[in-house]
Chains A and B, each alone.
Chain A
């Protein structure tokens, strides 16, 4: 039976900064006293917008957000979240200003596991999934060759490119309209990389069709592929049972605490919502 990360905390985090980075993309920096640190791929649940005098009832649910990275300033631990303003919850989140509080629960989920094979690591990310793999890229780059393949529809849909450019990784970009990097799908980049680097381990986070294709490509090359799933969740720590994903072995996994990272072969992709 899955369980929440025992180090998880619930706290009112202080907004240090909440900046638009072009288009609908935002970078939220939160000061989180008592933050226990996180493993690459873990996430937090953020209440939609600043905490008011009474608990928010509409929109009701907190939003799961990958932890992009963490740092400490003179007043304690901080973490960064990259998000896209898309629905009511993220619009409210974008309205939070420095000094306000946002309710946070985390770190949650199981995170990525280091490759079991000695070869290169190929990280494929699209859309908001890009935020999930930054810390993985940074830590893996200390010990092995890492390629980060980022995909988006258009150049303005790419988030965090400058941060990745500062890492010791091979960075490749594909956009569907060709406005940045190679024209086409990021999965086409994966095909080429994997052909050049047999024995590499693949990690994928992004839209479901992208991840499903990554799993197929990896399987065709005999490579392991871990994926980080998204799903609706009310709690993030294994009690609402809302985030079920069908397992190849039967039954359901909970994305929040069995994952969000899974071996791509363990998920029945055709039955994901």
Chain B
């Protein structure tokens, strides 16, 4: 009898994110999950939707000098920079260490458009790679250091170029450091991006008053964690209003309820970020928590929640 009720209330957690089939909508965010296998002691990688690996550049890169991180109110300020093993070492050393059956999305990060495209070309056709997320928050050298994702014309050129370079599902991870996220979302959709990920870290500064210096060696950093969650929800909602391509919501997700909020605002899937550092089992707990949350409310399909926020209309 109770088994029948359980069967009736089974929650369908599957989602399609820009052509990537996920068993549930919870991925781990790029830069917070290493190359995946670091988390093997702490969770079952097959119990989460998948993960986005740390952003890759053409060559291995060394990061910034310390201090690289600082605690902020309900947040984490970081300036790690481009530190990564490089695209070839990822393909040949990191990817084989990831268990079969785990959805792996790669992230590309570069300083020039041609180099972004080359990273995408190298990743295309490699077995096991389910898609590419373009990290558009890198300073563009030719634009004087402004982020690629901050100038609609530069973002247009970037998405056009990487779209030509790969047939894989293509997500563009948007910078929140913009006036109109809707405009940036439309640019990506217009150039053939399959989906959007947002938001990346919010540009921020923390100050040591005694030394009269920034707390981070690099000066500015990116703020992540629960402090930015309401900003992220607002931007996901605005982007979802502006485009038809699917959205992966990111920003301070700590719990199943937080993840549901992003679905309501229009995200088809979510990425857990900073919380992975603090609780390396968090992504799995959130994925299982979403299922339990839905089950407790008689919701049979998580995808039915997407975009159902009742926003008052002016």
A and B assemble together: yes
Task: State the A residues within 8 Å of B (CB).
Answer: 1, 3-4, 6-10, 47, 54-55, 57-62, 103, 105, 231-235, 237-246, 251-252, 271-273
User: B residues within 8 A CB of A57?
Assistant: 74, 225-227, 254
> Are A10 and B254 in contact, with the CB atoms below 8 A?
no
User: Assuming A4-B38, A10-B281, A273-B67, is B62 touching A251 (CB within 8 A)?
Assistant: yes
Please tell me if the beta carbons of B255 and A54 are within 8 angstroms of each other in the complex: yes
Q: Is the CB of B41 within 8 A of A242?
A: no
Would you call B76 an interface residue if the criterion is a C-beta within 8 Å of the partner chain's C-beta atoms?
yes
User: Which chain B residues lie closer than 8 Å to A243 at the CB level?
Assistant: 66, 68-69
Query: Measured between alpha carbons, how far is A47 from B42 in the docked complex, in Å?
Result: 16
Interchain CB contact under 8 A, A58 and B70: no
Contact yes or no, B66 A231, CB < 8 A: yes
Interface residue? B307 (CB, 8 A): no
B71 interface residue (CB < 8 Å to A): yes
A103→B254 CA distance, assembly (Å): 15
Given known A234-B277, A241-B80, A246-B65, contact A54–B254 (CB-CB < 8 A): yes
Q: Which residue of A lies closest to B217 (CB)?
A: A273
Which residue in chain B gives the minimum CB-CB distance to A251? Answer: B62
A235 touches B65 (CB 8 A): no
Q: Are A4 and B41 in contact (CB under 8 A)?
A: yes
A-B contact pairs, 9 of them (CB 8 A): A9-B42, A61-B71, A105-B280, A234-B274, A240-B69, A240-B80, A241-B80, A252-B63, A252-B83
Contact call B278/A47, Cβ cutoff below 8 A: yes
| Minimum CB distance partner of B33 in chain A | A239
User: Which size class do B's interface residues fall under?
Assistant: 35 or more
User: Which of the residues B38, B227, B274, B278 comes within 8 Å of A238, measured between beta carbons?
Assistant: B38
Q: Given the complex of chains A and B, what is the CA–CA distance between A3 and B277 in angstroms?
A: 14
Across-interface contacts of A9 in B (CB, < 8 A)? 41-42
B-chain residues with CB within 8 Å of residue A231 when the two chains form the complex: 66
Of all chain B residues, the one with the shortest Cβ separation from A58 is B74
Q: Which of A62, A105, A238 counts the most chain B CB atoms within 10 A?
A: A105
Binding site for A on B (CB under 8 A): 32-34, 37-42, 62-76, 78, 80, 83, 85, 93, 217, 225-227, 254-255, 274-282
* Secondary structure type dominating chain A contacts: loop
B76's contact among A61, A237, A241, A246, by CB below 8 Å, is which?
A61
Q: A234-B274, A235-B277, A244-B66 are in contact. List 18 more A-B contacts (CB 8 A).
A: A3-B38, A4-B41, A6-B40, A9-B42, A10-B41, A54-B255, A61-B76, A103-B279, A105-B42, A232-B68, A232-B69, A235-B276, A235-B280, A239-B32, A239-B38, A239-B276, A242-B66, A252-B63
Q: Are A242 and B68 in contact (CB under 8 A)?
A: yes
* Closest CB in chain B relative to A54 CB, distance in Å: 6
Distance, CA A273 to CA B68, complexed state (A): 10
| Bound CA span A251–B84, Å | 12
Closest partner residue, chain A, to B40 (CB atom): A6
Chain B residue nearest in CB terms to A268 = B65
- CB of B41 within 8 A of CB of A7, answer yes
Q: Are A232 and B254 in touch, CB under 8 angstroms?
A: no
Residue among B68, B227, B282 making CB contact with A241, cutoff 8 Å = B68
Shortest Cβ gap from A21 to chain B (Å)? 26
Kindly list chain A residues whose C-beta atoms are within 8 Å of the C-beta of B255. 54-55
- Please name the residue on chain B nearest to A45 by beta carbon: B278
Instruction: Tell whether, in the assembled complex, residue A244 and residue B34 are in contact, meaning their CB atoms are under 8 Å apart.
Output: no
Taken together as a complex, chains A and B put the C-alpha atoms of A271 and B66 apart, in Å, by 8
* B41, B225, B275, B282 — most chain A CB neighbours (10 Å): B41
Measured in the bound complex, the distance between the Cα atoms of B279 and A61 in whole Å is 10
Q: B93's closest neighbor in chain A, by CB?
A: A1
